[in-house]
Amino acid sequence: MTKTNSGRFFEDYKIGQVIRHAVPRTVAEGERALYHALYPARHALYSSDEFAADCGLDGSPIDDLIAFHTVFGKTVPDISLNAVANLGYAEGRWLRPVMPGDTLRAQSEVIGLKQNSNGKSGVVYVRTQGLNQVGEPVLDYVRWVMVRKRDPDAAAPETVVPDLADAVAAEDLIVPDGLSFADYDFELAGESHRLGDYEIDEKIDHVDGVTIEEAEHMLATRLWQNTAKVHFDATNREDGKRLIYGGHVISMARALSFNGLANAQMMVALNAGAHANPCFAGDTIRAWSEVLDKAETSAPGVGAIRLRLVATKGDSANFPLKGEDGKYLPEVLLDLDYWALIPV
Amino acid sequence: MTKTNSGRFFEDYKIGQVIRHAVPRTVAEGERALYHALYPARHALYSSDEFAADCGLDGSPIDDLIAFHTVFGKTVPDISLNAVANLGYAEGRWLRPVMPGDTLRAQSEVIGLKQNSNGKSGVVYVRTQGLNQVGEPVLDYVRWVMVRKRDPDAAAPETVVPDLADAVAAEDLIVPDGLSFADYDFELAGESHRLGDYEIDEKIDHVDGVTIEEAEHMLATRLWQNTAKVHFDATNREDGKRLIYGGHVISMARALSFNGLANAQMMVALNAGAHANPCFAGDTIRAWSEVLDKAETSAPGVGAIRLRLVATKGDSANFPLKGEDGKYLPEVLLDLDYWALIPV
Amino acid sequence: MTKTNSGRFFEDYKIGQVIRHAVPRTVAEGERALYHALYPARHALYSSDEFAADCGLDGSPIDDLIAFHTVFGKTVPDISLNAVANLGYAEGRWLRPVMPGDTLRAQSEVIGLKQNSNGKSGVVYVRTQGLNQVGEPVLDYVRWVMVRKRDPDAAAPETVVPDLADAVAAEDLIVPDGLSFADYDFELAGESHRLGDYEIDEKIDHVDGVTIEEAEHMLATRLWQNTAKVHFDATNREDGKRLIYGGHVISMARALSFNGLANAQMMVALNAGAHANPCFAGDTIRAWSEVLDKAETSAPGVGAIRLRLVATKGDSANFPLKGEDGKYLPEVLLDLDYWALIPV
């Protein structure tokens, strides 16, 4: 009897199946400090307990992306150990702040299956939920991946492709209890731009670049207990490089976007996301953003801004995205669509 | 008058001498987070306060190996600054969990001395004890090292070689107060295997590999305030590599062993250990385990499993250990013998 | 309208101007753990809550240099984004310990301006103050930098060069409330040397060397939210190296100075400092110190020692500093002048 986990294959997933992922994780001030060491994160709400308290919270929450990566990491052994590709995200929402000391666990429901025409693999759609220690949901999102079949001759399941929204509707965004930007301190936050200062279709070059080292992305990826071996084992590839966890690029780009979007404080929805090209150590990551939409919320002074966040390993000043063929340019690493809360 | 510490030499040790090691250290949630960033550690009892509470503890303890490395690190300036080789460990026991906020200090008693026949060095045996802030012992172990003499003409001490047990007896294992695996959640822990599922002599390939970077092992070794210069100073060797602290390999192998031994939660004894070959940055570490013994304890649902843990920089699938000459194969880095607590 | 921060230029500064720097930061146990991972820091007062309590404090403070780097980092976007050179420090004092959980912010007053004769740049002098969450000052220091002009034709301001003390006078040093070294445990602290054991003009070679990796200095520099791009962006230079934040060298040298100055526990004044030559990954840092002055304080058993701390990327045994031309030798990285508290 083999004791190690060889992961699930395409034929192991059934519609409606609920997978309770292993290894709950308490996240606290240590994870917060490491996040600041790994990324140039400066959003004031996640940096200062005082600033967060002045915005009506009990203190500075754990970064939204720590919550995302931690929940995502738990799903890897069950969802993507045999994945060929991480295809997309949709309908992601942060539902309540994660505070230092909270313990996160995760579970996923299989909501879609579609065998590929080659019969060797298929697409699995799961809705993943992160829960805290009292069972309250802290975030959920849909993710779909291409997974290999163990047995190419296994029968194809009935095709079910979930009907997913292009974006979370502004009225479905969850604003944390008590949040208020009525007395927001723009000077301490680092920039004076409020929601009204941004125009839909406006593009912002975030200017700064960060070159990535192997040690850094491995520290980050392990921190989220994501154990996919492509990120850690240099013998997997002839050039000894390790494929960088896509979430590392997300966090790096989001942190870089402070320069121009310092007041886009809290991520509240993940509308879509594509890891356009692989990222490796030695790449220098830059980022640019595009304003896709704007909305109001019912909380005092709190608006919402929908942003496209693009990470590139080339120049960001010319806003690289797709070529004339509609495909991502080779230097583009990430195309992320999210909602953030920002003072009106 | 020189102000710096040049370390003790062989002739400076006397049987019965007690050395109180310097620099007590408070370990807390920051050290815990860093441990998760440095190693692919996923044992649930050390990851989740909730999981630990459900096992009868007050919360998630600091990893047993954080306690070991911290205590070990304190001994380096007094015991192994002039050591030629770290020869062995015996009779190690963890005596009570270290909780976040505890402060550790260490002291060692010299229990054996044996000058080498070349007259230039000798073997020093010490029993080291780690203590918490209220003076309670948290772990103890015997370690012996080969230490240079300052003066080759110094007289040889009377030879005293302590009588050390091959392994800690099962009845001498200390189970933490309150620990119970009666309601153990195997699904959250990550694997279904309980003590009864393992056979003595069974070998488990832990499959995954992690390639080590200079920055990582230096961060880890500094974190335990281990300042042996071979780990940090690239000018010590012509190739600019730094010798990796043996404890870094122990932690890496133990973390990798999660895959197949996810329920071997708590380390309670260190029976023996050999750093078979040096490890350098660029090596990809894999691990395999062998079940050496099994035992029951008096705590509800808590059994004990004695394991050989082997780290290799080559393939782990063929369980490399020793050649026909009885010597460790060149790819073997570590051969560790320990007891862990596991649900029956 | 551009949304990103392009920094201030020389002509943007006015005498008397007060700049309230952005992004307050809560520092806690995670930052403390990372400091121990990044530097071989072993001063017992910052390592152990018990040791600190035995010295009359409420617990172990955050390292004085964490406070300094955090405050310094906040000033970068406003003071040194367009700086050509970091020219000096003076009149720095730590005013009260920073405890885990404290939130730091920073503000600077422009106290001097002097346009360079080339008309393209000028020297800006600022007095920077770090404040905690209740508005108490925790440190202040004067720093001067050479900053480019946006418009070479902009009129030169009236020259104002502040009159700065060569060193903080011993009687102006602030000893933390309650601090006592009356019951100081020299054995636990790691060395037996007290103030009386040091002679003015005595030099101490700290012996140990640490080779620096790119990942490490970037983790450190980000941790202090210092975002100067020269530290992170390998495309800035043809050789792909990143200029290492001068504060990283300060912390490395100060930590190395434990070996010979283990009892120089608390930094209380920064008299002067020069980053003599740039530091790059691959450099092996060593340090030596010179005793410049000694003083008493009114606190029980607490003396003060004024030290020159020199970091070098070459040998430290010959105490390298300046050549016959009075210029720093090419291997010298740092020349720092500070006061520390030490048992009498």
Q: What is the mean pLDDT of each run of 10 residues along chain A (344 residues)?
A: 86 97 98 98 98 98 98 95 89 98 98 95 97 98 96 95 98 98 98 98 97 97 93 90 96 98 98 97 98 98 98 97 98 98 98
Structure tokens at C199: 């002679």
Across the interface, of B4, B215, B223, the residue whose CB is closest to C259 is B4
Across the interface, of A3, A105, A223, the residue whose CB is closest to B37 is A223
Across the interface, of C23, C218, C219, the residue whose CB is closest to A47 is C23
d(CA C271, CA C91): 5
Q: What value does the CA radius of gyration of chain C take, rounded to a whole number of Å?
A: 20
Please indicate if any CB of chain C lies within 8 Å of the CB of A210: yes
Question: Coil, strand or helix: which one is A157?
Answer: coil
Partner-chain contact A232 B29, CB within 8 Å? no
Chains interfacing with C (3 or more CB pairs < 8 Å) = A, B
pLDDT at B1: 56
Question: Is the Cα dihedral B308, B312, B315, B320 positive or negative?
Answer: negative
pLDDT at C186: 98
pLDDT at C167: 98
Distance to chain B for A27, nearest Cα, Å: 8
pLDDT band at C237 (very low <50, low <70, confident <90, very high): confident
Give percent of chain C with pLDDT exceeding 70: 100
A/C interface, count of CB pairs below 8 Å? 131
Residues of B in contact with A1 (CB under 8 A): 197
Partner-chain contact C215 A214, CB within 8 Å? yes
Partner-chain contact A189 C30, CB within 8 Å? no
Structure tokens at B280: 């350098």
Question: Coil, strand or helix: which one is B133?
Answer: coil
Residues of A in contact with C101 (CB under 8 A): 49
Phi-psi region of C120 (alpha: psi -120 to 50; beta: other; left: phi over 0): alpha
pLDDT at A5: 85
Residues 135-174 of A with CB under 8 A from B: none
Distance to chain A for B142, nearest Cα, Å: 32
Produce one character per residue of C76-108: b if its CB has 16 or more CB atoms within 10 Å, e if not: bbbbbbbbeebebbbbbbbbbbbbbebbbbbbb
Residues 270-289 of A with CB under 8 A from C: 282, 284
Note whether B99 and B62 are within 8 A (CB). Answer: yes
Whether pLDDT at B331 is above 90: yes
Residue of C nearest to A285 (CA): C233
**pLDDT tens profile B116-152:** 999 999 999 999 999 999 999 999 999 999 999 999 9
According to CATH, the superfamily of the domain at A1-27+62-155 is: Hotdog Thioesterase (3.10.129.10)
**DSSP state, residue B4:** S
Cβ contacts of B298-302, under 8 Å, gap ≥ 24: B298/B175, B299/B175, B299/B179, B299/B180, B299/B181, B300/B180, B300/B181, B300/B182, B301/B180, B301/B181, B301/B182, B301/B183, B301/B184, B301/B343, B301/B344, B302/B175, B302/B179, B302/B180, B302/B181, B302/B341, B302/B342, B302/B343, B302/B344
CA distances from B238 to A317, B162, B235, B242, B330 (A): 44, 38, 7, 10, 21
**pLDDT tens profile B205-227:** 999 999 999 999 999 999 999 98
ipTM, two decimals: 0.96
Chains interfacing with B (3 or more CB pairs < 8 Å) = A, C
Note whether A96 and A176 are within 8 A (CB). Answer: yes
Structure tokens at C36: 């121990």
Phi-psi region of C201 (alpha: psi -120 to 50; beta: other; left: phi over 0): left
Structure tokens at B12: 């400076």
For residue C235, count other CB atoms closer than 10 A to its CB. 14
pLDDT band at C86 (very low <50, low <70, confident <90, very high): confident
d(CA C306, CA C304): 7
Q: What is the mean pLDDT of residues B264-275?
A: 98
CA distances from A78 to A131, A248, B127, B190 (A): 17, 20, 44, 10
- Give the best residue of B47, B197, B251 to mutate against chain A (max A CB count within 10 A): B47
Alpha helices in B45-163 (DSSP H): 49-54, 64-79
pLDDT at B228: 87
Which part of chain C is CATH 3.10.129.10? Answer: 1-27+62-164, 171-344
Residues 26-45 of C with CB under 8 A from B: 28-34, 36-42, 44
Structure tokens at C313: 């990327």
Which part of chain A is CATH 3.10.129.10? Answer: 1-27+62-155, 177-344
Residues of C in contact with A198 (CB under 8 A): 3
Please indicate if any CB of chain C lies within 8 Å of the CB of A197: yes
Q: What is the mean pLDDT of chain B?
A: 96
Whether pLDDT at B242 is above 60: yes
pLDDT at A1: 56
Give percent of chain B with pLDDT exceeding 70: 100
Please indicate if any CB of chain C lies within 8 Å of the CB of B182: no
Residues 82-101 of C with CB under 8 A from A: 101
According to CATH, the superfamily of the domain at A177-344 is: Hotdog Thioesterase (3.10.129.10)
According to CATH, the superfamily of the domain at B1-27+62-164 is: Hotdog Thioesterase (3.10.129.10)
Of residues A84 and B326, more confidently modeled: B326
Q: What is the mean pLDDT of residues B23-49?
A: 98
Produce one character per residue of A159-193: b if its CB has 16 or more CB atoms within 10 Å, e if not: eeeeebeebbebeebbebeebbbeebbbebbbbeb
Structure tokens at C334: 């740092």
Partner-chain contact A38 C235, CB within 8 Å? no
d(CA B162, CA B55): 38
pLDDT at A231: 94
d(CA A273, CA A293): 16
CATH class of residue range C171-344: alpha beta
pLDDT at B336: 98
Whether pLDDT at C85 is above 90: no
pLDDT band at C269 (very low <50, low <70, confident <90, very high): very high
pLDDT at C159: 97
pLDDT at B181: 98
Whether pLDDT at C1 is above 80: no
Strands of chain A (E only): list them: 18-20, 25-26, 83-94, 103-115, 121-131, 137-148, 203-205, 210-211, 266-275, 284-296, 302-312, 332-343
Q: What is the mean pLDDT of chain C?
A: 96
Partner-chain contact A40 C5, CB within 8 Å? no
B/C interface, count of CB pairs below 8 Å? 130
Task: Please choose, from the candidates B131, B125, B284, the residue with its C-alpha nearest in 3D space to the C-alpha of residue B211.
Answer: B284
pLDDT at B42: 98
Which part of chain B is CATH 3.10.129.10? Answer: 1-27+62-164, 176-344
Q: What is the mean pLDDT of residues C111-135?
A: 97
Partner-chain contact B209 A242, CB within 8 Å? no
The yes/no answer on whether domain B176-344 falls in CATH 3.30.300.30 is no
Residues of A in contact with C135 (CB under 8 A): none
Question: Coil, strand or helix: which one is B38?
Answer: helix
